[in-house]
Structure 1
Amino acid sequence: MDLGIKDRIALISGADSGMGLETARQLLQAGARVAITDLPDGTLQQAHDELSALGQVIAVTGDVRRENDVHRIWSEVRERLGDPDIYVNAAGVTGATGDFLDVSDAGWLETLDINLMGAVRMCRQAIPAMRQRKWGRIVLFASEDAVQPYVDELPYCASKAGILSLAKGLSKAYGADNVLVNTVSPAFIHTPMTDAMMEKRAKEKGVSVDKAIATFLDEERPGMTLKRRGKPEEVAAAVAFLCSERASFINGAGLRIDSGSVFTIAG
């Protein structure tokens, strides 16, 4: 399917692995020119090298918690590619976990700073040029946790609920300028983040990683009817669609990619 974004410029944060990396891959395959960004101590250059055969792609390191880094990321992308038509916010962390009474202010603030304020800072840079050109697509990564919170990761849940509200507000503020803002809410996707979660669970329970995954699905995510982790490319396909001309009448929406994990029909 032609997504209608050939030669569009896309910037993806949190793109050195997992869902961000796969989104970059699919946008390149659709003909977009792509900039990927992530922390300098990760695997961003490896991701760039992996993607480079698919089309024009650049890598820019930076930390979405730092205003100066955010300005530098956007300045470099503008200089090397031009103003992005598409922004995908995949940068995020699980953050502070544990009993609510044991999580410090610092744990809360760090999680919110990366997951919510990082998106705020990046969208602040993205929107002006999109408005001027009367064409823009912004996709923010939320989570099933935004509407179905889990008691041992409340900072993460709150940050992702904030993403839903942010996206809805931006969609109302700038939709008239044809800047369309939507969210995706994945659940338990096969990424380095869930690998680490399952390795920790396996160690705690004295079982294999496969067994840890199976028991996690049964005990913690009973609504996931497919009984497996999702694949990053399954999420990326939905993101790429929302970035496309095919999604020209979708604004302020949230798309769940969760194998049925969320039990409610609302939210």
Structure 2
Amino acid sequence: MDLNIKGKTALITGGDSGIGRETAKFLAREGVNIILSDRKEGKDLSDAVTEVEKEAKDGATVVGIAADLSDNNEVLALAAKIDKDYGGAHIIFHSAGARGAAGDFLSLTDDDWMKTIDIDLLGSVRIARAFIPQMQKLKWGRMILVSSENAFQPYVEESPYNACKAAIINLSKCLSRSYSKENILFNCVSPAYIETPMTDAMMEELAKERDCSVEDAVKWFVKNERPHIAMQRRGKPEEVASVVAFLCSEQASYINGSNIRIDGGAVESAFG
């Protein structure tokens, strides 16, 4: 399908791996110029640029720019560089985030909460605040934020993450009501248990605790901790990326303020 976005420029945060990298590939194949961003320069980011470049069509360019999204000055510097060097970003896919502090609610301190909020919620706020003016200038924009099944079906050991992901859906809806008249659309996706570095680390830790292989840890986790995943497996990054790419497209011009769950049926309620 031609998504009618050839020649546009997309910033993908958390773009060095997982869902961010796979989304970059989808968009690059549509002729979109890609800017991959992650917290630090390094092999992961440079490897991602090389990998996405191989997928690029119709003269699309791919670059990597490091920025720590917990530092507003670095977010502003990132936005200024993209505006100066590339004329601004039409598309933002903000996939950077972290599980943050986890554990029994009473064991979590203010500092635990604030670190998670700073990365997961305020990171989205900073990105939106810095890049909406570019979309206003370009008179066209798509911003996709990443929530989670946790927003609808919270897990008791992840209360800060649960709260932040619910807030991101609310933020996206608020922004969609503010800027849609300027042809800037905001949506969320809510993945569940996808093969990403974050869930890889969780499964490696679980494998050590249970003295088993990572593969067996995944099977145990699905059966015991995520029994509502009807498909009984982890999702693949490309299964999320294909939905994100569509939301970035001209064909999605009447989808605004929505949240799309990509969760293999993980949320038990029909109305979550």
Tell whether the structures are fold-level matches, with TM greater than 0.5. Answer: yes
1:224 to 223, 226, 229: 229
Query: Secondary structure of the equivalent of 2:11?
Result: strand
Aligned amino acid, residue 17 of structure 1: S
Say if 1:60 and 1:76, in contact at 8 Å, map to a contact too: no
Which runs of no fewer than 5 residues in structure 1 stay unpaired?
none
Determine whether 1:69 maps to 2:70: no
Q: How does 1:97-136 map to 2 (within 5 A)?
A: 97-136=102-141
> Which residue identity is paired with 1:64?
L
Following TM superposition, by how much is the alpha carbon of 1:80 offset from its aligned partner in structure 2, in angstroms?
Answer: 2.3
Per the alignment, residue 89 of structure 2 pairs with: 84
- The change in CA–CA distance for 1:102 and 1:192 in structure 2 (over 3 A counts) is same
CA contact (8 A) 2:188 2:260 kept: yes
State how 1:105-254 maps to structure 2 within 5 Å: 105-254=110-259
Deviations 1:145-165 (A, max 9, x none): 011110101111111011000
Q: Deviation string for 1:222-255 (max 9, x for gaps)?
A: 1111111111011000000000001000000000
Q: Distance in 2 between matches of 1:150 and 1:9?
A: 36
SS at match of 2:190: strand
- The 2-side partners of 1:158 and 1:216 are apart by 22
Per the TM alignment, residue 92 of structure 1 is displaced from its structure 2 partner at its CA by 0.1
Deviation at 1:176, TM superposition (A): 1.4
Residue matched to 2:266: 261
Give the whole-Å Cα distance in 1 for the aligned partners of 2:72 and 2:225: 37
Contact 2:148 2:165 in 1 (8 A): yes
- In the other structure, the counterpart of 1:51 is 52
Q: What is the alpha-carbon distance in structure 2 between the residues aligned to residue 191 and residue 87 of structure 1?
A: 20
Per the alignment, residue 4 of structure 2 pairs with 4
Give the unaligned 5+ runs of structure 2. none
Mapped to 2, the partners of 1:131 and 1:264 lie a distance apart of 37
Q: What is the alpha-carbon distance in structure 1 between the residues aligned to residue 107 and residue 160 of structure 2? A: 12
What is the SS of the residue equivalent to 2:21?
helix
CA root-mean-square deviation: 1.1
Which residue number corresponds to residue 30 of structure 1? 30
| In structure 2, C-alpha distance between the alignment counterparts of 1:143 and 1:166, rounded to whole Å | 14
Q: Which moved more, 1:199-208 or 1:47-56?
A: 47-56
The total of aligned residue pairs comes to 267
Structure 1: 4+ residue segments shifted above 3 A: none
Task: Tell me the TM-score normalised to structure 2 length.
Answer: 0.95
Question: How high is the sequence identity, in percent, across the aligned residues?
Answer: 48
Q: Distance in 2 between matches of 1:214 and 1:258?
A: 16
What does the per-residue CA deviation read over 1:119-172, in whole Å, with 9 as the maximum and x for residues that have no partner? 100111111221233311000000000111101011111110110000000001
SS of the aligned residue for 2:65 comes to: strand
CA distance in 2, matches of 1:246, 1:60: 29
Distance in 2 of aligned mates of 1:198 and 1:16 = 20
Q: Give 1:47 deviation, angstroms.
A: 1.0
**Structure 1 CA distance, aligned partners of 2:95 and 2:150?**
15
